[in-house]
Amino acid sequence: MATTIDMPKLSDTMTVGTVASWLKNEGDSIESGDIIAEIETDKATMELEVFDEGVLLKQIVPAGGQVPVGSPIAAVGEAGETFDSSSLPAADAPAETEAAETEEATSEEAEAVEAEPTAEAPAEPKPQGDGPAIKASPLAKKLAAQKSIDLANVTGSGPNGRIVKKDVLAANPTSSKSTTVKKPAAPDSSAIVSAGIAEEKDLPVSQMRAVIAQRLLESKTTTPHFYLETEVDVAALLELRKQLNSELSELSPEQGGVKFSVNDFILKAATEALRRVPEMNRSWNETTIRQHSAVNISFGVAIDDGLLTPVIRDADAKGLKTIALEAKELIGKSRSKKLAPNEMSDSTFTVTNLGMFGVTGFYGIINTPNAGILSVGATVARPVVDANGEIAIGQIMRIGLSCDHRVVDGVVGAQFLQALKTIIENPALTLI
């Protein structure tokens, strides 16, 4: 007898899932442990393993379809058996199809709004002879008149062959009936129509983007943020990084080879600063404040459709090299959407870095329930006064700290930044 395979709950926050792709076709034999599909969750793309044996009778949800957790997505049974899915609720259409339909409708609505209002809509112009009426949007008619283009010679790409703006813009002006040579008129700036910088369309909101939007809105509206900032001179850190990489980056992993990024040093320095000011390593639990014993430090990784925050667990027990290697592995998994749920959960503090894009300073939104998020800007060379009172060139990095005022006060945030500044400006402390 046929059985259904339901959309699994692959993360704590997952409420719906999308079938990214099917790895088994209808009619294929499957065995327990086979991977039959890839499921896109709110955080990553996961493989769907089955524990039934038989034949894949029906792909109930097509590739790109989205259904709530617990809804059937496939049916498995015996060879020759049939499955009737007509009694099941229909799955959502693939996002690409919905976007295409929405784009066409939106395009027509936009053109109707752009057209100049008239007391009465003009009748559709008719070509000479007994041909059918020409269907064109108001804006298309206006542009055709301005460009002296005969709409009878324009092929429409809108619904039912209707001529829209882009058809007129693509038409050859020589298709005009008139051959009279006129004196060029002065340019009319109001008649200039932009070709656009990108195709105008409504993009479907992915499950990941929807969850990001929901969580950030909740954090910003329910968590009382306050902000602190400091500047650090990272000249010594950059020099130490250069020395280590010159010795270690060319070695194989078996020989102890590793290549450090600036962010590796920041993650280690932030961990050590939390060791010195453990009050920042807390979280809000409504009726209690949790003091975390270990530092589970997460960091932002940008991907095509959002941001993931993989977690380095027990970072306080790990050295700079271990943190660097683990961060590199987590970045690779993030960009291939292969992070497991436990690799993105239970963080106690977060670091986000936009310095590689030239951003000199910013404040991140707290990754709740963390008490704070560290925002790292670009390094800028500028004049500074050194310890001897002399003008010198410093390598200055601005670091912002967003704090949850329910958990910590300004003094705690300031003490944390003070400790962080000391460690970064004396980077040998990260090697202890």
Catalytic residues: 405
| C-alpha 221: how far from chain center | 21
Q: Decide if 257 contacts 407 (C-beta within 8 A).
A: no
Angle at 308 between CA 302 and CA 309, to 5 degrees: 115
SS3 breakdown of the chain: % helix, strand, coil, rounded to 5?
A: 35, 25, 45
In angstroms, rounded to a whole number, what is the distance separating the alpha carbons of residues 58 and 345?
35
DSSP letter assigned to residue 389: S
φ, ψ for residue 254, nearest 5 deg: -65, -30
Q: Which of 279, 331, 326 is nearest to 303 (CA)?
A: 331
| Three-class secondary structure of residue 20 per DSSP | strand
Alpha-carbon 241 to chain mean position: 30
How many angstroms separate the first and last alpha carbons of the chain? Answer: 63
Tokens 């940008």: give the residue. Answer: 302
CA nearest to 73, candidates 12, 13, 1, 21: 21
Instruction: Please check whether residue 362 is in contact with residue 336, taking contact to mean a CB–CB distance below 8 angstroms.
Output: no
Cα–Cα separations (whole angstroms), residue 281 to 91, 168, 181: 43, 61, 78
Q: Are strands 391-404 and 372-385 parallel, antiparallel or unpaired?
A: antiparallel
